[in-house]
Structure 1
Amino acid sequence: MGTGKHISSDVFTVGGYDWAIYFYPDGKNPEDSSMYVSVFIALASDGTDVRALFELTLMDQSGKGKHKVHSHFDRALESGPYTLKYRGSMWGYKRFFKRTTLESSDFLKDDCLSMHCTVGVVRTRTEGPKQYIVPLPASDMGQNFKEMLESGIGSDITFEVGEETFRAHKLILAARSPVFRAQFFGLIGNTNMDKVVEEDVEPAVFKVFLLESHVLILDDLNCFMYALYYDV
Structure 2
Amino acid sequence: MIVNCSEPNNALDSSSRSINETVNGSHHFTIRGYSLAKGMGPGKYISSDTFSIGGYEWAIYFYPDGKNPEDSSMYVSVFIALASEGTDVRALFELTLLDQSGKGKHKVHSHFDRALESGPYTLKYRGSMWGYKRFFRRTSLETSDFLKDDCLSMNCTVGVVRTRVEGPKLYSVPIPPSDMGQSLKYLLDAELGCDIIFQVGEESYKAHKLILAARSPVFRAQFFGLVGNPNSDKVELEDVEPSIFKALLQFIYSDELPDFHEIIGSTSTSSAIMMQHLLAAADRFGLDRLKQLCEAKLCEEVSADTVATTLPLQSSTTAHSSRPYV
TM value normalised by structure 2: 0.38
Out of 44, 55, 60, the position equivalent to 1:5 is 44
Q: Which amino acid aligns with 2:109?
A: H
Out of 37, 41, 56, the position equivalent to 1:17 is 56
Q: Is residue 126 of structure 2 the alignment partner of residue 53 of structure 1?
A: no
Deviation at 1:112, TM superposition (A): 1.1
**Within-5 A mapping of 1:1-232:** 1-76=40-115, 79-127=118-166, 130=168
Q: Which amino acid aligns with 1:115?
A: M
Mapped to 2, the partners of 1:17 and 1:115 lie a distance apart of: 20
Q: Which runs of 5+ in 1 are unaligned?
A: 133-232
Q: Which has the higher helix share?
A: 2
Deviation at 1:127, TM superposition (A): 4.5
* Secondary structure at 1:31 match in 2: helix
Greater radius of gyration (CA): 1
**Aligned equivalent of 1:144:** none
Report the CA distance shift for 1:39/1:131 in structure 2 as closer, same or farther (over 3 A).
closer
Deviation at 1:33, TM superposition (A): 3.5
Deviation at 1:131, TM superposition (A): 9.6
Q: Which amino acid aligns with 2:154?
A: M
Q: Identity, % of aligned pairs?
A: 88
Q: Which runs of 5+ in 2 are unaligned?
A: 1-39, 171-326
Q: Which amino acid aligns with 2:105?
A: K
**Deviation by residue 1:147-169 (Cα, 9 ceiling, x = unmatched):** xxxxxxxxxxxxxxxxxxxxxxx
Mapped to 1, the partners of 2:66 and 2:72 lie a distance apart of: 8
Q: CA RMSD in A?
A: 1.8
Mapped to 1, the partners of 2:133 and 2:106 lie a distance apart of: 19
* Secondary structure at 2:140 match in 1: helix
Deviation at 1:77, TM superposition (A): 5.2
Contact 2:92 2:115 in 1 (8 A): no
Mapped to 2, the partners of 1:105 and 1:76 lie a distance apart of: 30
Deviation at 1:80, TM superposition (A): 2.1
* Secondary structure at 1:124 match in 2: strand
